Amino acid sequence: GIQVEQSPPDLILQEGANSTLRCNFSDSVNNLQWFHQNPWGQLINLFYIPSGTKQNGRLSATTVATERYSLLYISSSQTTDSGVYFCAESQGGSEKLVFGKGTKLTVNP
């Protein structure tokens, strides 16, 4: 099945810093999504981005489908950005989303 690899596994930042999270895929990109899981466990969909670039406030994402990777950019990080960021891609273009193990982000004040 499709393999989803995220890096780095852990990231610690000072408030105000920028960061880039990466997601690599072993198969073609069809249904790429980024999620944020806050410290209370709630999962929020950030982007649906099978290709191209999208921006939402301080967050943006780029997917290069031909090279099978996606990047999530966080600018001017805030303590509320802390949590785990997951990327996910569907198994063989099906309805089955496969999740990476996540990047744990800690933003210190």
Residues that bind other proteins in the complex, under the rule CB under 8 A: 4, 31, 33, 35, 41-45, 47-48, 50, 86, 88, 90, 93-102
Matching residue, tokens 């099945």: 1
109 alpha carbon, distance to own chain's centre: 22
Least Cβ distance, residue 92 to other proteins (angstroms): 12
Cβ proximity to other proteins: between 49 and 107 the closer is: 49
The Cα 32–Cα 51 span in angstroms is 8
Least Cβ distance, residue 105 to other proteins (angstroms): 15
Task: Report the SS3 class of residue 1.
Answer: coil
